[in-house]
């Protein structure tokens, strides 16, 4: 590329970046979300086609085996292989090729891609290398297409999340927007490949945390998943994967006991899935042989297992389809139905835990569906109030098992409802998912999943300094002492900046909008006669006046800057430095203290120790019904003072300091005396001090 062309490309990119940064949240994410959705839909089509081709070549041509498929993908029935002896060799060959590709070109593409996308969101949203989506696509098609056990969502999630990361680099998006782009990409890929746009959108926001949700990603994810689903469906069809199971509903309350049983069983099997998967992953990690050979050896094991239990091979969706119909389910031997869920856990742990490429989402739902089918087979001959069809048990068990191990109950329930065309089982599913989640506890199938937003670097300033989010950047900005024009000679601009005694200045376009900023020490290096806009020293970020100070400090930290221009609709409002942000924070903090003082003259501090066995011990601050005119101001624990945020869990031995108006003192004392009686009461709005 010539220098002339490079300058024009860079100018064009700066213009696009400027339009994106200055656009409102709605307009920005309509465009970016739609773009990510297009790539997500196309990526899902390419991967789906590659997987079908690999399955035909490896299993069809070499082993003479056609895996059963769900109703929405052809509905091929369960059949035997013409050359069963070839299956272990075929799965091993696929694992070998996948291992060579992954560990030769992109070792970070091993394992399940959704977890890698979650890690990128939290720690390095711009860091997914451009080659990762392609390597993941090919390696996953080889792993799953040859009979390895894995899900299709991991590759598609990483493909579109990788594009979101690429957009973050190309457009130099702010840290918050780059993270949202990765989450939106993950949602688009999953929503398209499962033909579940609503559940996929919520999954992209829910899967990032164990006990929280990334609300900023919801709106962009809805746009991206709808676009991706529309593109994928226009080529592969819009029918639900498992056909329409709308005939089956919930109408007998006596069945709730059986759905509760499903939830408990799914919880315990879910724990086995998590521990088995990571146990075998750690076991493979201790092997001393070359990493690229491990998927081949694991593939040989999976192939041998598949000779006995064919449902352990591939995605397993065809066996779930068989479990939805009573006649096809009863045609399968009972021992096979009971063994299938555990064989699927083992084959997935071997295929993916060894370094193979694929997802754990799809296998998790297959394990749940087959578990529900097995429970129905055991109970159907004698138990009362059993549904005439196994479909309700299969649907609810799919929701319960993976909703609990992924800590994404709402998203998984909606996805399974979309995949089966059945919304009527959501009510009993809530009981099953709730009990399964209770049994699973904190362990998660996704290691990079964090507990809450307060644990994520994405929100480090918001939760470390809670008032920051409530102060708009525009309120903290101060007037710029000097500005320079994009057409100004660099030497003249340096003289202006030096005369003003500042380290740099905002750069204005011809139409009066802000293009970025320049530093004096860098601008001095511009060649004689060079212009500011063509000197190559135009810098980011640009801050929006209506953003919170937490986002502004995050942008400054990510760009290693100490100040930046602040704009509204592209027009300069002022500049914000780290010192300005801290001054605004101190002002807001003083105002907050005044608000506490305003609780009333003669207010009292009530200090109480939370005793062992107290009903307050083990509860979060947000779960306690604090009186309206009382504020929990501090928690002292083992000599350390803690800010009582809503997610802080109270513990026995804590010294709680409560500031209360005189009229609220009796209510506070009553709360402390009768906490046990209020354990299960409704929780009103909490007002912890910040």
Predicted confidence (pLDDT) per residue in 325-367, tens digit = 889 999 999 999 999 999 999 999 999 999 888 889 889 999 9
pLDDT of residue 533: 67
Q: Which two tokens stand for residue 135?
A: 């390597």
Q: Which two tokens stand for residue 452?
A: 């809450």
Q: Say if residue 401's pLDDT is above 80.
A: yes
pLDDT of residue 487: 82
Q: Say if residue 649's pLDDT is above 90.
A: no
Q: Show which of 236, 262, 297 is a domain's final residue.
A: 236
Q: How many C-beta neighbours within 10 Å does residue 255 have? A: 18
Residue 404, CB-side half-sphere exposure with 13 Å CA sphere:
34
Residues 566 and 632 in one domain: no
Query: What is the mean pLDDT of the segment spanning 148-159?
Result: 87
Of the two residues 611 and 145, the one the predictor is more confident about is 145
Render pLDDT for 33-72 as a digit per residue (tens, 0 to 9).
Answer: 999 999 999 999 999 999 999 999 999 999 999 999 998 8
Q: Is residue 2 part of a domain?
A: no
Q: Say if residue 646's pLDDT is above 70.
A: no
132-146, 426-440, 675-689: least confidently modelled range: 675-689
d(CA 272, CA 439): 11
Residues 604 and 564 in one domain: no
Cβ neighbours for 104, distance < 8 A, ≥ 6 positions apart: 292
φ, ψ for residue 418 (rounded to 5)? -70, -35
Q: Say if residue 688's pLDDT is above 50.
A: no
Q: Is residue 543 part of a domain?
A: yes
Global pTM reads: 0.74
d(CA 284, CA 354): 6
**8 A C-beta contact, residue 596 and residue 615:** no
Of the two residues 393 and 132, the one the predictor is more confident about is 393
d(CA 531, CA 644): 53
Q: Is residue 83 part of a domain?
A: yes
Which of 196-200, 580-584, 652-656 ranks highest by mean pLDDT? Answer: 196-200
Q: Say if residue 644's pLDDT is above 90.
A: no
Q: 631 pairs with which residues across the strands?
A: 659
Residues 279 and 320 in one domain: yes
Tell how strand 655-660 and strand 630-637 pair up. antiparallel
Q: Show which of 583, 613, 633 is a domain's final residue.
A: 583
pLDDT of residue 674: 57
Q: pLDDT band for position 641 (50/70/90)?
A: low
Residue 364: DSSP 8-state: H
pLDDT of residue 184: 94
Q: Say if residue 527's pLDDT is above 70.
A: no
Q: Say if residue 528's pLDDT is above 90.
A: no
Of the two residues 124 and 293, the one the predictor is more confident about is 293
Residues 23 and 149 in one domain: yes
Number of separate domains in the chain:
4
Render pLDDT for 270-312 as a digit per residue (tens, 0 to 9).
Answer: 999 999 999 999 999 888 888 889 999 999 999 999 999 999 9
Q: Is residue 134 part of a domain?
A: yes
Residues 225 and 277 in one domain: no
Q: Is residue 244 part of a domain?
A: no
pLDDT of residue 421: 87
| CATH code of the domain containing 570 | 3.10.580.10
Residues 176 and 38 in one domain: yes
**Domain housing 551:** 466-583
116-130, 293-307, 530-544, 553-567: least confidently modelled range: 530-544
Query: What is the mean pLDDT of the segment spanning 589-598?
Result: 56
Q: Say if residue 392's pLDDT is above 90.
A: yes
Q: 609 pairs with which residues across the strands?
A: 655
Of the two residues 196 and 486, the one the predictor is more confident about is 196
Q: How many C-beta neighbours within 10 Å does residue 376 have? A: 25
Q: Say if residue 468's pLDDT is above 90.
A: no
pLDDT of residue 682: 40
d(CA 377, CA 89): 34
pLDDT of residue 188: 94
d(CA 91, CA 362): 19
Of the two residues 684 and 521, the one the predictor is more confident about is 521
pLDDT of residue 133: 86
Of the two residues 8 and 229, the one the predictor is more confident about is 229
30-39, 419-428, 478-487, 580-589: least confidently modelled range: 580-589
52-66, 243-257, 446-460: least confidently modelled range: 446-460
Q: pLDDT band for position 175 (50/70/90)?
A: confident
pLDDT of residue 72: 87
113-122, 445-454, 547-556: least confidently modelled range: 547-556
Q: Is residue 58 part of a domain?
A: yes
d(CA 80, CA 69): 14
User: Residue 659, SS3?
Assistant: strand
Residue 74, CA distances (Å) to 97, 206, 295, 318 in order: 28, 31, 30, 10
Angle formed at CA 653 by CA 650 and CA 656, multiple of 5 degrees: 60
Share of the chain above pLDDT 70, in %: 87
Residues 560 and 612 in one domain: no
Residues 199 and 282 in one domain: no
Q: Is residue 563 part of a domain?
A: yes
pLDDT of residue 261: 95
pLDDT of residue 678: 47
Residues 273 and 393 in one domain: yes
Q: Which two tokens stand for residue 582?
A: 């801290």
Q: Say if residue 686's pLDDT is above 60.
A: no
Q: Is residue 12 part of a domain?
A: no
User: Residue 621, SS3?
Assistant: helix
Share of the chain above pLDDT 90, in %: 39
Residues 342 and 290 in one domain: yes
Q: Show which of 454, 485, 514 is a domain's final residue.
A: 454
pLDDT of residue 647: 67
Residues 314 and 229 in one domain: no
User: Residue 571, SS3?
Assistant: strand
Q: Where are the alpha helices (DSSP H) in 560-612?
A: 578-597
Of the two residues 632 and 254, the one the predictor is more confident about is 254
Residues 293 and 379 in one domain: yes
Q: pLDDT band for position 10 (50/70/90)?
A: low
| CATH code of the domain containing 401 | 1.10.3080.10
pLDDT of residue 169: 81
| CATH code of the domain containing 622 | 3.30.70.1450
Three-class DSSP labels, 165-207:
HHHHHHCCCCHHHHHHHHHHHHHHHHHHHCCCHHHHHHHHHHC
Query: What is the mean pLDDT of the segment spanning 400-412?
Result: 93
When the pLDDT of each residue in the chain is averaged and rounded to a whole number, the result is 84
Q: Which two tokens stand for residue 469?
A: 């989010």
């Amino acid at each position: 590329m010539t220098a002339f062309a490079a300058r024009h490309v860079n100018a064009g990119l700066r213009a696009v970046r400027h339009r994106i940064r200055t656009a409102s949240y709605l307009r920005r994410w309509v465009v970016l979300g739609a773009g990510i959705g297009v790539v997500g839909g196309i990526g899902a089509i390419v991967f789906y086609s590659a997987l079908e081709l690999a399955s035909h070549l490896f299993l069809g041509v070499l082993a003479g085996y056609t895996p059963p498929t769900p109703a929405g993908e052809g509905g091929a029935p369960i059949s035997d292989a013409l050359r069963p002896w070839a299956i272990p060799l075929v799965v091993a060959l696929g694992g070998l090729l996948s291992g060579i590709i992954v560990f030769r070109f992109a070792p970070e593409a091993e394992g399940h891609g959704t977890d890698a996308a979650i890690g990128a969101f939290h720690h390095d949203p711009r860091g997914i290398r451009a080659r990762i989506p392609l390597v993941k696509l090919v390696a996953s098609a080889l792993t799953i297409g040859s009979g390895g056990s894995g899900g299709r969502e991991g590759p598609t999630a990483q493909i579109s999340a990788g594009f979101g990361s690429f957009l973050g680099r190309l457009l130099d998006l702010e840290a918050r927007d780059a993270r949202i782009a990765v989450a939106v990409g993950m949602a688009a890929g999953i929503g398209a490949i499962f033909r579940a746009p609503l559940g996929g959108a919520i999954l992209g926001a829910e899967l990032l945390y164990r006990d929280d949700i990334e609300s900023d990603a919801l709106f962009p994810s809805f746009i991206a998943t709808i676009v991706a689903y529309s593109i994928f469906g226009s080529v592969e069809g819009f029918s639900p994967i498992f056909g329409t199971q709308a005939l089956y509903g919930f109408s007998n309350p006596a069945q709730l006991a059986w759905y509760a049983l499903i939830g408990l069983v799914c919880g315990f099997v879910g724990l086995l899935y998590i521990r088995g998967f990571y146990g075998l992953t750690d076991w493979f990690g201790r092997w001393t042989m070359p990493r690229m050979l491990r998927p081949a050896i694991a593939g040989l094991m999976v192939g041998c297992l598949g000779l006995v239990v064919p449902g352990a091979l591939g995605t397993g969706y065809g066996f779930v389809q068989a479990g939805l119909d009573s006649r096809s389910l009863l045609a399968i031997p009972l021992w096979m139905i009971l063994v299938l869920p555990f064989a699927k856990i083992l084959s997935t742990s071997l295929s993916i835990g060894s370094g193979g490429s694929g997802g754990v989402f799809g296998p998790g739902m297959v394990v749940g569906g087959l578990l529900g089918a097995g429970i129905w087979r055991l109970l159907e001959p004698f138990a009362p109030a059993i549904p005439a069809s196994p479909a309700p048990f299969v649907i609810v068990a799919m929701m319960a098992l993976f909703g609990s191990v992924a800590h994404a109950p709402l998203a998984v329930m909606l996805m399974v409802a979309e995949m089966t065309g059945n919304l009527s089982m959501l009510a009993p599913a809530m009981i099953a998912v709730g009990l399964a989640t209770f049994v699973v506890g904190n362990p998660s199938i996704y290691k990079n999943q964090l507990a809450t937003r307060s644990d994520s670097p994405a929100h480090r300033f918001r939760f470390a300094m809670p008032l920051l989010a409530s102060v708009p950047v525009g309120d903290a900005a101060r007037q710029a002492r000097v500005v320079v024009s994009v057409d100004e000679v660099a030497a003249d601009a340096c003289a202006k900046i030096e005369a003003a005694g500042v380290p740099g200045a905002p750069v204005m376009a011809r139409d009066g909008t802000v293009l970025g900023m320049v530093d004096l020490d860098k601008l001095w290096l511009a060649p004689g006669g060079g212009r500011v806009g063509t000197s190559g020293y135009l810098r980011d970020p640009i801050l929006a006046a209506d953003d919170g100070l937490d986002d502004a400090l995050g942008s400054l930290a990510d760009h290693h800057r100490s100040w930046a221009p602040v704009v509204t609709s592209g027009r300069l409002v002022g500049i914000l430095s780290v010192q300005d942000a801290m001054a605004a924070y101190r002002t807001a903090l003083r105002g907050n203290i005044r608000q506490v003082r305003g609780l009333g003259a003669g207010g009292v501090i009530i200090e109480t120790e939370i005793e062992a066995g107290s009903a307050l011990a083990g509860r979060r601050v947000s779960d306690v019904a604090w009186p309206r005119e009382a504020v929990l101001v501090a928690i002292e624990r083992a000599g350390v003072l803690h800010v009582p945020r809503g997610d802080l869990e109270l513990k026995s031995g804590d010294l709680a300091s409560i500031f209360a108006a005189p009229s609220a003192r009796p209510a506070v004392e009553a709360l402390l005396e009768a906490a046990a009686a209020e354990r299960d009461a409704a929780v009103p709005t909490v007002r912890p001090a910040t």
